[in-house]
Structure 1
Amino acid sequence: MGLVETVKRFFKRSTYVMTNQTLSQITDHPKVAVSSQEYQRIKDNQRYFSGSYPQIEYKDSNGRLTKRDFNHLPIGRTAAKKIASLVFNEQAEIKINDDEANTFINKTLKTDRFNKNFERYLESCLALGGLAMRPYVDNDKVRVAFIQAPVFLPLQSNTQDISNAVIVTKTTKVEGNKNKYYSLLEFHEWSDDKYTVTNELYKSDFSDKIGQRVALSELYEDLEETAELQGLSRPLFTYLKPPGMNNKDINSPLGLSIFDNAKTTIDFINTTYDEFMWEVKMGQRRVAVPTQMIKTEYNQDGEKVTVKREFETGHNVYEQFDSGLDEAIKITDLTTPIRADDYIKAINEGLALFEMQIGVSAGMFTFDGKSMKTATEIVSENSDTYQMRNSIVSLVEQSLKELIISMLELGKAYELYKGNIPDMDTISINLDDGVFTDRNAELDYWLKMVTAGFAPKVKAIEKTMNVTEDKAKKILQQIATETMSATNQVRSDEDIETYGE
């Protein structure tokens, strides 16, 4: 059976027979090759990214245990967003030497608003440690699904890339008056040029449990249990992760968040910021009130009753003390000035340490109120930020090329694309690093290289215009043709008669 038919049979009714397999977590599945510690690390990254912190418990002036929200800075989200915007933006361009493939891909990506979506999901990749992209067909159009780290787990991998993985899709369904939580496990396995997709459905009464395996038809009427695809040159999905070794688990193929090794610093910054905000809010006013202070009340029989005065609930302003004296007792104001300068200095020191730990240039997040570095100073070619960006860009370019190949192969399987499948070397990704690069300086550099005979013109065109080598050759040929034509136009009749055409 050909690739077209096997892909189209992917969504047919299953002949699945129910089993009694039950899973507490996705890592309990025998096929999943990720430890529970790695999975928990990803969930912890998600907490830092979203800024989900538990409430603070404290005792108020009456000694009652009280809770309040934890004030924090969105450091994880800010860092991921800023770096993602430096790596990729809507001005990014994808070019393929094959005109038919180039037209199909650019039209498809534009229709799917890929550039806008990818920049957004790149934040998730940097914050959570990875991102998978998988093309699919919807209404005769190829689209791209973004699969975030918490629902993408490897099955097997080699030293270069993840070739087998499971994708988890969560669905909630109301049955009676109770919510039922379904988890569809989509196993993608690649072996000897044969691509197999296996679907398993699990049902649970609890949102944080995978539950018991049930029939696919319970939720997906036309989903087939297993589909074998042949003729693909690579897995349907591509996996992108931040650069660097996973030092949390050196055997794990999953990537690290950009702030995985800076969580203690984030905790320090947030704790300091929370104390600062609380001190400002409460004014850190402290008033010493003797316990001898009472208010007098009378009962129905006219008898005097003494009742201790209590303070306003939720406030920690007042402190009781026993002076041991019966004479007039004074209320003493113990308020001290707010330590704004000390807190701000501590927060900035924490931010400077955070910059060093994630590998960006000093001054990218800190601001002392006196001077601010320009964008050119922060992202100059020799800066840490520029070097970090280059490392991420190389991985993004490779991942996008793999995605393009998969999109073309899937489009061809559904007969939406009838052209050739290009080689990756013919695909050019322009991520527009104009923020970092002085175009005039770059042009001057390559002009000097060509003039000195240290580089060919084709290389100079390739680098300055960010095109493929084949495209650069065509541009050079076009320049030579136009130059020859212009030269012929200004030659005199005597010159032509003397030297010929």
Structure 2
Amino acid sequence: MKVIQRIKNLFKRGGYALSGKDLKSINDHPKINIDPKELARIERNLRQYEGDYPKVEYYNSHGDLQKRDYMSLNLRKLSADVLAGLIFNEQCEINVSDADEKKKKDNSFKSAHEFIEHVFEHNKFKKNLADYLEPALALGGLTVRPYVDMETGEIEFSWAIANAFYPLRNNSNGISEGVMKSVTTKHDGNRTIYYTLLEFHEWEKGQDGNNLYVITNELYKSESPNEVGKRVALEEIYEGLQEVSYIPGLSRPLFNYLKPSGFNNINPHSPLGLGICDNSVSTLKKINDTYDQFWWEIRMGQRTVFVDDAVLNTLPDESGRPPKQIFDPDVNVYKSMRMNEGKDPVKDVTSDIRTDQYIAAINQSLRTLEMELKLSVGTFSFDGRSMKTATEVVSENDLTYRTRNDHVYEVEQFIKGLIVSVLELAKATTWNNKQLFDGEIPTFEHIGVDFDDGVFQDRTALLRFYGQAKQFGFIPTTEAIERIFKVPKEMAEEWYEQIIMDQSDMDPVEITSRRERRELGMEE
């Protein structure tokens, strides 16, 4: 019966391909049902993040319709960049404790910490996360999925920003099923062909009654970048890629979704996150419009002098040679105009540029943006003033620091989830007749993430505080180590044991005792 059900599932997955219907949008797929407003919001965020705005249309003095580029301040990118730099950097330390005490003492066993350290270093995880955190904050989400390269036996990471991931099912613990999208282009003569790979991650019941993780790959082909297209065989560009893969023994989805801190108030029923500027769209427009007008006023504010057309007339010289212009041909300041007789032949009509007014207007809007993003006053400035240092941010118990901490929690849970997914995938994968990882899978409590808060927190003050708390018996030593150095409980206990051993080696009584034992042994 289980086999029959699995065959039905395969036909169900492939049934859409048999229809031959084109997918105009991702929502045309029978498995995907995302609120179109959410898709539009993400696409708008991406355009603004890229600085892609439509041209400004206007009528010139002759009544002709003209177009020009829209000049903007890319504050969606700038604000995400500022916050991403405060949240995560490459000095972050990640520690994993092994739950299996017996295997810890086996030198032939590769610990979970060593395994994760190798995988993260191989994938340049810290650098990539530091880079991808910016678009995650700007657009509203980021997805990372580990997979195994069966040629090398290495675990690789696949990254997807907000417009390349769609949830299929979610609960209070997060998104349990989803689909990742990747687009590849191929040139055939003058034609550009767009291939869209949809990678579905779903759960189904296995023959033993346990949940079985299923990855289904579907490839679509189109000649339009705005359409998904018609389903084609995977071998057309992905040779050897399996259409369906089953992975047993997983406790969580392979993909890990990171969203900025905060509730999606724009669509409360959506599991997707919001970009940090999604509630500030009108403020961003006000800033950009003011800046665009300021730039255009500067562009139109070049010096203009009207002169009598007689002044610009060219006259032949006495020898009858061709006339020469009176003014330098490269000068565009002077404009010809018939003046009334008896009036000055030259009139300067240049208008002053309202620099102070525009700067004040932009700075006032920036204050509003800081309030909406929950950033401290002075984070942004259009008049060249320097921003606050990280030390000032913390010493003042700054709003930026508190906002940063909210996002840090989300990133910490994201990293811990990714570590568990990597180890579960490695344990479920056999390469060269051997499991990639054969140890125990740690829980979140066995994983420590130190975000290198040294720039925000005075470690000397922390040591002094916890040292005094320990001295008066208010906190155990292992707990103090765990909090100061952000390591798992098991690692803190190991450190404490090592400290006791080191201290005993330096104890004068112990040193004397060891010397006496050596001397007695020599006498015997």
Which residue number corresponds to residue 168 of structure 1? 181
Which residue number corresponds to residue 21 of structure 1? 21
Matching residue's letter, 1:104? F
* 1:407 and 2:422 aligned: yes
Matching residue's letter, 1:257? G
Residues 319, 85 of structure 1: alpha-carbon distance in 2 compared, 3 angstrom cutoff = farther
Return the offset for 1:191. Answer: 4.3
Matching residue's letter, 1:196? V
Which residue number corresponds to residue 145 of structure 1? 158
Return the offset for 1:459. Answer: 1.6
- Alpha-carbon displacement from aligned partner over 1:30-64 (angstroms, at most 9, x marks no partner): 21131111011001111111111122223334333
Which of these residues, 216, 233, 250, is aligned with residue 215 of structure 1? 233
Contact 1:94 1:428 in 2 (8 A): yes
Structure 2 Cα separation of the partners of residues 169 and 266 of structure 1: 30
Return the offset for 1:259. Answer: 0.8
Matching residue's letter, 1:465? F
Show the 5 A alignment for 1:11-160.
18-98=18-98, 100-138=111-149, 139-160=152-173
Residues 107, 215 of structure 1: alpha-carbon distance in 2 compared, 3 angstrom cutoff = closer
Indicate the SS of the match to 2:378.
Answer: coil
Residues 455, 111 of structure 1: alpha-carbon distance in 2 compared, 3 angstrom cutoff = same
Which of these residues, 435, 445, 449, is aligned with residue 465 of structure 2? 445
Which residue number corresponds to residue 196 of structure 2? 183
- Structure 1 stretch displaced more, 122-131 or 96-105: 96-105
Residues 24, 409 of structure 1: alpha-carbon distance in 2 compared, 3 angstrom cutoff = same
5+ unaligned residues in a row in structure 1: which ranges?
Answer: 1-13, 297-311, 497-501
Matching residue's letter, 1:443? L
Q: Structure 1 length normalisation: TM-score?
A: 0.83
Structure 1 Cα separation of the partners of residues 176 and 141 of structure 2: 14
Return the offset for 1:492. Answer: 8.0
Return the offset for 1:245. Answer: 0.6
Structure 2 Cα separation of the partners of residues 473 and 317 of structure 1: 82
Indicate the SS of the match to 1:67.
Answer: strand
- Alpha-carbon displacement from aligned partner over 1:366-416 (angstroms, at most 9, x marks no partner): 265567544322244721111111111111111111111111122221332
- Alpha-carbon displacement from aligned partner over 1:71-98 (angstroms, at most 9, x marks no partner): 2222111111121111111111111112
Matching residue's letter, 2:271? P
Contact 1:18 1:215 in 2 (8 A): no
Matching residue's letter, 1:456? P
Show the 5 A alignment for 1:75-474.
75-98=75-98, 100-138=111-149, 139-175=152-188, 177-191=190-204, 193-283=211-301, 285=303, 332-366=347-381, 368=383, 373-380=388-395, 382-412=397-427, 413-414=429-430, 415-474=435-494
Structure 2 Cα separation of the partners of residues 29 and 319 of structure 1: 64
Structure 2 Cα separation of the partners of residues 317 and 55 of structure 1: 29
Structure 2 Cα separation of the partners of residues 346 and 319 of structure 1: 36
Contact 1:45 1:128 in 2 (8 A): yes
Structure 1 Cα separation of the partners of residues 33 and 471 of structure 2: 55
Residues 474, 220 of structure 1: alpha-carbon distance in 2 compared, 3 angstrom cutoff = closer
Return the offset for 1:16. Answer: 10
Contact 2:164 2:181 in 1 (8 A): yes
Structure 2 Cα separation of the partners of residues 178 and 88 of structure 1: 42
Contact 2:259 2:274 in 1 (8 A): yes
- Structure 1 stretch displaced more, 142-151 or 53-62: 53-62
Contact 2:370 2:380 in 1 (8 A): yes
Bigger RCO (CA 8 Å, 6+ sep)? 1
Q: Percent of pairs identical after alignment? A: 44
Return the offset for 1:288. Answer: 7.5
Indicate the SS of the match to 1:156.
Answer: strand
Contact 2:305 2:333 in 1 (8 A): no
Contact 1:381 1:387 in 2 (8 A): no
CA RMSD in angstroms comes to 3.2
Structure 1 Cα separation of the partners of residues 394 and 336 of structure 2: 52
Contact 1:132 1:152 in 2 (8 A): yes
